[in-house]
Amino acid sequence: MKTKWTTENIPSQVGRRAVITGVNSGIGFEAALALAHKGAELILPARTQAKADDAVARILKQVPKAQLHPEILDLSVQASVHAFAKRVMERFPGQSLDLLINNAGVMALPTREVTADGFERQLATNYLGPFALTGLLLPSMKQIAGSRVVTVSSSASKQGKIEFDNLQSERVYKPMFQAYAQSKLADLIFSLELQRRLKAVGSPILSTAAHPGYAVTNLQADHVAAGLKMLMAIMKPFLSQDAAHGALPTLYAAVAPAAVAGGYYGPDGIAELKGYPTAVPIPKSALDITVAKRLWAESERLTRVKFGVLSDAA
Ligand SMILES: NC(=O)c1ccc[n+]([C@@H]2O[C@H](COP(=O)([O-])OP(=O)(O)OC[C@H]3O[C@@H](n4cnc5c(N)ncnc54)[C@H](OP(=O)(O)O)[C@@H]3O)[C@@H](O)[C@H]2O)c1
């Protein structure tokens, strides 16, 4: 499927309300900007008020009439996830959200870090935070066609393995191809399992997933492990794209009418590193339903967030 799909193809988002995480930088910012251009009302959390305000100011410069709500959210802190969700539900009561884009993430922290909740930082930020946020915000989503939860994974998920005896990397910690890859595989497994559960209860909400290929963003910042940094620098001139192009698969998963339940979208170019959005193969490791159910149960246990009827819908 060669789509050449761009932001021009985004249908009008007037009257639609979205939450996008990780909005002050990279793909999250570009996705927010594109949706603002199309008239969406956006709830835009960042880790600090200053970062959220700055993202809002930068979008307003280009889309002066945009309806934007800066917010604070640290996905690596479960209390922050709960507080954010509570504020959203108070400010926008009832079923009032059309879109949740779980975009924020961190990559390849050189040494193992543990959060205040006792979770390994990449798993906490990339997976357990978004898992809890989705569970808390699902009741706020409109039960209509068009409502979607998008989870941003990575092609690193192909290298991942869910190690239930090393979920927090407590036994072995390898920054990229174990801890980061595991967290991004968990994202993809979650997206697919969420879709199965939504379908089981007859919900019209879709769960979709995306990966940006290799987009030049702050993700490849100074903290990233040295070997990986060198590899990315070598690939950069030929095999990378800018953040705006990196945001296209996420936007496609979020709003393209052709995106399907449980779909996974990435760039259509060489090795899925750059290009236009297309459906990409789901790694076999993400398709194991026994692992998906066990991961879901473990995630509910760790975060203490239940998904209402979806908890028992498997
Ligand atoms: N760029 C790529 O080539 C690539 C490839 C595969 C997958 N991805 C995925 O794409 C997504 C977006 O990444 P990006 O490339 O746009 O990187 P980025 O420019 O570094 O943006 C990441 C965003 O996540 C936020 N974030 C980090 N930790 C957070 C926390 N604890 N709570 C809330 N927000 C937090 C960051 O906020 P701060 O500025 O405060 O840190 C930032 O806004 C990530 O899920 C990443 O894994 C990217």
Distance CA 186, CA 134 (A): 14
- Nearest residue by C-alpha to atom 44 in ligand 1: 105
**Strand segments (E) across the chain:** 17-20, 41-46, 67-72, 99-102, 148-152, 206-210, 215-216, 241-242, 264-267, 277-279
* Residue 226 pLDDT level (bands cut at 50, 70, 90): confident
- Average pLDDT value for residue range 192-215: 97
pLDDT digits (tens, 9 = 90+) for 126-169: 999 999 999 999 999 999 999 999 999 999 999 999 999 999 99
Enter the tokens of residue 6. Answer: 């761009």
Q: Where are the domains of the chain?
A: 11-312
| 256: pLDDT strictly greater than 90 | yes
288 Cα to the center of ligand 1, angstroms: 27
| 186: pLDDT strictly greater than 70 | yes
C-alpha neighbours within 13 Å on the C-beta side of residue 38: 19
Nearest 5°: CA angle at 29, between 26 and 32?
145
142 Cα to the center of ligand 1, angstroms: 27
| Inter-residue contact 208 to 148 (CB < 8 Å) | yes
* The pLDDT of residue 312: 86
Of 218 and 194, the structure prediction assigns the larger pLDDT to: 194
Start-to-end C-alpha separation, the chain:
31
* Residue 219 pLDDT level (bands cut at 50, 70, 90): confident
* The pLDDT of residue 62: 98
Q: What are phi and psi of 21, to 5 degrees?
A: -90, 160
Enter the tokens of residue 293. Answer: 């159910």
Of 314 and 249, the structure prediction assigns the larger pLDDT to: 249
* The pLDDT of residue 313: 83
* The pLDDT of residue 3: 64
- Average pLDDT value for residue range 33-37: 98
Tell me the percentage of the chain whose pLDDT exceeds 90: 87
| 2: pLDDT strictly greater than 90 | no
- Average pLDDT value for residue range 176-187: 95
Q: Which atom number of ligand 1 is nearest to the Cα of residue 180?
A: 47
Contacts (Cβ under 8 Å, ≥6 apart) of 43? 17, 18, 19, 20, 69, 71, 88, 92
**Mean predicted lDDT score pLDDT of the chain:** 95
pLDDT digits (tens, 9 = 90+) for 259-303: 999 999 999 999 999 999 999 999 999 999 999 999 999 999 999
| 113: pLDDT strictly greater than 60 | yes
* Residue 68 pLDDT level (bands cut at 50, 70, 90): very high
Ligand 1 pocket: which residues have CB below 6 Å? 21-22, 24-28, 46-47, 51, 73-76, 103-107, 125-126, 152, 154, 211-212, 214-215, 217-219, 246
| 80: pLDDT strictly greater than 60 | yes
| Inter-residue contact 18 to 43 (CB < 8 Å) | yes
* Residue 50 pLDDT level (bands cut at 50, 70, 90): very high
Q: Which of 24, 44, 47 to mutate to test the pocket of ligand 1 (most atoms within 8 A of CB)?
A: 47
* The pLDDT of residue 89: 98
| 1: pLDDT strictly greater than 60 | no
- Average pLDDT value for residue range 5-32: 98
Distance CA 201, CA 178 (A): 34
Question: Is residue 180 annotated as part of the catalytic site, yes or no?
Answer: yes
Domain 11-312, CATH homologous superfamily name and number: NAD(P)-binding Rossmann-like Domain (3.40.50.720)
